[in-house]
Copies of this chain bind each other. A is one copy, B any other.
Amino acid sequence: MDPRALRARRGRQLRYSSHRTPSPAPTCEVIQSASLSPKPEARMSSAVSPNAPTDVPEMPAIAGVKLATAAAGIRYKGRTDVLLAVMDKGTAVAGVFTKSKCPSAPVEWCRDKLSQGKARALVVNSGNANAFTGKTGRAATKLTADIAAKALRCSPAEVFLASTGVIGEPLDASKFDGVLATMAGNVAPDDWMNAAKAIMTTDTFPKVATRTVWLGKAKVTINGMAKGAGMIAPDMATMLAFVFTDAPIAQVALQSLLKGGVADSFNAVTVDGDTSTSDTLLAFATGAAAANGAPKISRAADPRLKAFTKAFHAVLGDLAEQVARDGEGARKLVEIIVDGAVSKASARKIAMSVANSPLVKTAIAGEDANWGRVVMAVGKAGEPANRDKLAISFNGIRVANRGARDPSYDEAEVSAAMKQPKIQIKVALGLGKGRDRVLTCDLTKEYIAINGDYRS
């Protein structure tokens, strides 16, 4: 990773660090991050996305969660590719998964184990998705869980699994033998950035988010990490995301929180309209904050959970936006807002039609306010729309109104606006009160380069 890009990305942390450390030398934290970033030969993309967030939070520890990463040599050389998260006894787990009819073996494993609702460990590997691997794939999930369970002295059914990477190649889970035991001895509470790095594939930056919020009279923390980049579309958009909290939330309530938060976060993000076989979002609640007086929550509708719910959904939204920012080859973050639709569902369908249109996305890559293509994408969505009531804006500049080009708009002003790193396309339908928002990115030659030479 380019050190300048790393510095830019980690600006807030550098400021925090120098505030605490008078020495002008690089802080330990930055050195650690730099040294642990994947080596160039292990990266699919060579440069950090220009859309990478400049403010990366310091990730606090979460009571009841410890992390370790390692290089098991699954596919990549010279970088970490396994994450082990170990949770205290009594941790509740909830999950939402891909709607693919051909899910990966780990997705089937997690779905099956979710019913008992308790988790002691999460094992994630990058480089191999263990998808479409038949019986071998099922055997690999079982072996991985068995190895982890032995190392942690828990039941294999308490071990949750996720894999990301190439599809159709058998995953050699025997590579975890020994590795997971060593990791279990090395777990630490503050390794969040390295954890987020270990699960990357074509991502150009690790994705983390955190919030701290009051629950009753106790402070509780929510940490999340995600990996995404390509094969991103609704029905559980990002490939893998994991959220952890020390709040004492029962499994049923946690599941409800998760489902409620997915619709406008991960399911409102699309990179290329392709849905992975491996999409997994898991949430773990250790309940450790009960020791500080946090009330035990059994229902998502509990009024004491209001601030927590907002923060929890903010973590999901933050991670989902980072996935869009790191869309493969993306140079621009694109926000599509549709209002005046006949319903929110209709607005979503139209917004997704715009967000997934290759012609809209290539126009944005070309910094061209080609609203004609937005009209096309609205028209093809199949949802109620009246051409002669339609208005379209780019970054607040209305370019089309009532069925024709807005006569008042200034081409030079719009051209300048299109050079911004974030483009907001607003479509006002003028029919009703339905409104929705989705995030995507532009479609560049780099996307083709990344995906035209991945497996080979």
Q: Which A residues fall within an 8 A CB radius of B?
A: 98-103, 129, 131-137, 166-170, 230-231, 233, 235, 272-277, 356-359, 362-363, 365-368, 370-373, 375-388, 390, 400, 402-405, 443-445, 447-449, 451-456
A373 B167 Cβ-Cβ under 8 A: yes
Contacts of A384 in B (CB 8 A): 101
B366 A453 Cβ-Cβ under 8 A: yes
Contacts of A377 in B (CB 8 A): 274
B276 A372 Cβ-Cβ under 8 A: no
A452 B99 Cβ-Cβ under 8 A: no
A363 B134 Cβ-Cβ under 8 A: no
B168 A380 Cβ-Cβ under 8 A: no
Using A99-B382, A231-B376 as known contacts, list a sample of 12 further A-B pairs with CB atoms less than 8 Å apart, ordered by residue number in A: A100-B379, A101-B383, A131-B372, A135-B404, A168-B371, A235-B380, A274-B377, A368-B452, A444-B452, A445-B445, A445-B448, A447-B448
B449 A445 Cβ-Cβ under 8 A: yes
**Oligomer: number of copies:** 2
* Distance of A230 from chain B, by nearest CB (Å): 7
Report the separation of the CA atoms of residues A169 and B407 in the bound assembly, to the nearest whole angstrom: 11
Contacts of A132 in B (CB 8 A): 372, 375, 387, 390, 400, 403-405
- Contacts A136-B404, A400-B168; is A455 near B372 (CB within 8 Å)? yes
Report the separation of the CA atoms of residues A363 and B133 in the bound assembly, to the nearest whole angstrom: 20
The 4 closest A-B pairs by CB, nearest first: A167-B372, A134-B404, A366-B452, A100-B379
- Contacts A101-B385, A169-B405, A387-B102; is A452 near B375 (CB within 8 Å)? no
Report the separation of the CA atoms of residues A166 and B372 in the bound assembly, to the nearest whole angstrom: 7
B273 A356 Cβ-Cβ under 8 A: yes
Contacts of A233 in B (CB 8 A): 380
- Contacts A358-B358, A363-B451, A445-B445; is A376 near B169 (CB within 8 Å)? no
- Contacts A99-B382, A359-B451; is A403 near B275 (CB within 8 Å)? no
* Distance of A53 from chain B, by nearest CB (Å): 25
A272 B168 Cβ-Cβ under 8 A: no
Question: Which residue of B is nearest A448, CB measured?
Answer: B445
Report the separation of the CA atoms of residues A103 and B382 in the bound assembly, to the nearest whole angstrom: 12
B167 A375 Cβ-Cβ under 8 A: yes
A sample of 6 cross-chain residue pairs with beta-carbon separation below 8 angstroms, ordered by A number, consists of A99-B380, A135-B403, A168-B404, A274-B359, A274-B373, A447-B448
> Looking at the complex, which one of B358, B370, B455 makes contact with A447 (CB distance below 8 Å)?
B358
B376 A102 Cβ-Cβ under 8 A: yes
* Distance of A298 from chain B, by nearest CB (Å): 34
Report the separation of the CA atoms of residues A424 and B445 in the bound assembly, to the nearest whole angstrom: 25
Contacts of A383 in B (CB 8 A): 101
> Looking at the complex, which one of B134, B387, B448 makes contact with A443 (CB distance below 8 Å)?
B448
Contacts of A371 in B (CB 8 A): 168
Question: Which residue of B is nearest A100, CB measured?
Answer: B379
Question: Which residue of B is nearest A405, CB measured?
Answer: B168
B378 A101 Cβ-Cβ under 8 A: yes
A274 B380 Cβ-Cβ under 8 A: yes
Contacts of A137 in B (CB 8 A): 404
A378 B102 Cβ-Cβ under 8 A: yes
- Contacts A132-B404, A133-B404, A359-B231; is A379 near B273 (CB within 8 Å)? no
Contacts of A277 in B (CB 8 A): 375-376, 379
Question: Which residue of B is nearest A356, CB measured?
Answer: B273
A358 B404 Cβ-Cβ under 8 A: no
A402 B356 Cβ-Cβ under 8 A: no
